[in-house]
Every structure is written in structure tokens, then in C-alpha cells.
Amino acid sequence: MKAYKILITEKIEGKWIEKLKSMYSVTYKPELWQYPEKIKKEIVDYSAVIIRNQTKLTKDVINEAGKLKIIGRSGAGLDNVDVDAASDLGIVVINTPDQNSISVAEHTFGMMLSLARKMAPANQNVKDGKWERQKFIGTELYGKTLGVIGLGRIGFKTALRAHSFGMKILAHDKYLNSEATVITQSHAKLVELEELLKKSDFVSCHIPLTPDTKHFFDYERFCQMKSTAFFLNLSRGEVVNEKDLIRALKNGKIRGAGLDVRENEPPESTQLSDMENTILTPHIAAFTEEAQERVIKAVCKDIISVLEGKSAKNFVNFSKPNSSKIFKEEQ
């Protein structure tokens, strides 16, 4: 077996990482993601790189990776990887689209329940030595309408759980039609975005970040929602214009918001932190023991397969390094 070198630029650990270390030369630098110029210099010598969402593999960085065969993204989103640049050089790009979807769907429900029942401020109230029950009258999920924007793997699992809570489900997804299996199985009604925003008591966003979806939720969109509705974003932070969200919350255009992702991570201090009707978590929806084990296992298995000349399972461009492209083999 060739002495392939693997670079890990973020905190990614587990028994499958230890397996990689037993097979290859693995460099573990969990803070390297903070230094793009260092990544650009260091990546030159590696056959594989494993990242999460904080490492930015831009075209400039990828073009320096003369020996790189595979990029392993521990997670689903690929907005921090220039997939086109990797494809131009014959580099396989993999991600883990299924492995953490249950955890994210459950986190979505945790946020919904916390907002509906005012759990965070009630918790703080009791810890402060108070017992002001009347301040924390909440609302049930039963009978309410959940609007799911993006009925992919996570949105679908969220909708399934909403159905078990007795909720009505509206969905908006430009890639689906009303006969799609995920629509019928989730008991959702496929509608236009305007109708979803107008009728939903909870709006849950599960769309990827693209040039078309950046600031998809702005003040105008928030104003289309019910003034009693809650908004949740567990997709990508830049899908939401946070200044407009703050404005909508302050002006009573929506009732509350739950965010696991932010426009800038880590975020600067904003008025969102001081609001009782917001739930803010540090991009941890996929961070369960079970999901992380599945994610890391899937990434490592694909890394091993590609380095052994076999096909990757979770590829997004091609399953093996593309021999028709120009890139250098290890000496």
C-alpha cells in the first residue's frame, strides 16, 4: 500500500480516524481551518483531506493540491468546497447526506418545543429563584401547521415527526411535484411559498446555500408570515438576513425564532442574544454521538476506498479520481 498522506483540518475524531492512522500517514490539525493561507501551502503534499463546514476549500486552495485525490466533507453541505474546481482537477468530492439527518430533524423539534413552551426563559426564571408561572403560558404543536421549506432528507424526516405530533404539514420545494414519494409519505401538501408563509404556524428552513438562496429570508418574507408564527433555520446561516430577522422580531412581524446556524460563525454579538423569544445554538444540530459516528465512518470508508483504487459511495462528482483530468501521482 502506498504511503498516502491525509490532512484533517478540523476537530474530527473517533475510532475510524484511528483506523486511518493505522493505515496511512495522517496529519491532525484541528485548528488549521482558521488559517486559509496555511492550508493553501500545506495541502500540496496530501492525497486526501477531511473537513467539516469551517474549512474553506476555494479554487485557489484546490489548485495548489497537486496530489489530492479526494476531499471528504463530514456533513452534507458543500458551500465551503468549490466542487467545480475539484472536478476540473479530477478530485473526488464526497459528503455524508444521510448520516446526520435524524439528529438535525430531532434538533428542529427540540427548537420548536422550546419556542412553543418558552422553555429557555422559564428555565432561567426558575434558576434565578423565581416561580412566575403565568409569564410562560405556551402553545401546543398539536393541530398547528408546520411549513417545511426544502423537503430533502432532513425536511422529510422533520415532516414525518410533525405528523406524529398531530400537525398539518405544508411543503415548498421547487424540485418536487405533488406525486413525489416524499410528499405522500410525509402527509404533506405541496404549495407555493407565499401560501406556506401565510398559513404556517411554524416555518422550518432546510435549503442549501446557493447564489439564489442567499438572504432568501429577508424582511419582506418575514412580513408574509403570521405575526404568531415561529421561524426556524437549520440549513445555512446566510440563507437568512439576520438584520431583517431582528427587525421582524422587534416589530412583531413574527413571534419567535430558532437558529442553529448564523450568517457568520462564530457570530458577533447581536440583539438576537438578548431576546427571550429566540433559541440560539452553535451549529450543533448534527452533533450527536450517533450521527457523528455514522458521518466519520462514512467519510473514512470512502477515503479508504478511493486510495485503494475502488469507488466511493457518497460521491458528488465522480466515484474515482478522474484519470482524464490532469493531476500528479505520488512519487
* Same domain, yes or no: 75 and 117: no
* Same domain, yes or no: 146 and 186: yes
Per-residue model confidence as pLDDT tens digits over 221-249: 999 999 999 999 999 999 999 999 999 99
Quick check: is 128 in a domain? Answer: yes
The low-confidence residues of the chain, meaning pLDDT below 70, are: 1-2, 323-331
Q: What is the pLDDT of residue 77?
A: 86
Q: What is the pLDDT of residue 324?
A: 63
Please give the Cα distance from 151 to 181 (Å, whole number): 11
**Residue-range definition of the domain harbouring residue 227:** 101-280
Residue 156 sits at φ, ψ, to 5 deg, of -65, -45
Please give the Cα distance from 151 to 49 (Å, whole number): 30
Question: Which amino acid, residue 261?
Answer: V
Q: What is the pLDDT of residue 331?
A: 41
Catalytic residue among 172, 221, 236, 294: 236
* Same domain, yes or no: 114 and 249: yes
Sign of CA dihedral 287, 290, 293, 297: negative
Q: Say whether 283 is catalytic.
A: yes
Quick check: is 312 in a domain? Answer: no
Question: How many independent structural domains does the chain possess?
Answer: 2
* Same domain, yes or no: 123 and 12: no
Q: What is the pLDDT of residue 149?
A: 98
Catalytic residue among 107, 172, 221, 283: 283
* Same domain, yes or no: 144 and 273: yes
Residue 108: which CATH number? 3.40.50.720
* Same domain, yes or no: 91 and 148: no
Quick check: is 249 in a domain? Answer: yes
* Same domain, yes or no: 64 and 131: no
Quick check: is 317 in a domain? Answer: no
Quick check: is 157 in a domain? Answer: yes
Q: What is the pLDDT of residue 3?
A: 83
* Same domain, yes or no: 219 and 113: yes
Q: Say whether 236 is catalytic.
A: yes
pTM for the predicted model, two decimal places: 0.88
* Same domain, yes or no: 27 and 112: no
Quick check: is 322 in a domain? Answer: no
Per-residue model confidence as pLDDT tens digits over 64-83: 999 999 999 999 889 999 99
Q: Say whether 294 is catalytic.
A: no
* Same domain, yes or no: 38 and 56: yes
Quick check: is 314 in a domain? Answer: no
Catalytic residue among 31, 132, 194, 265: 265
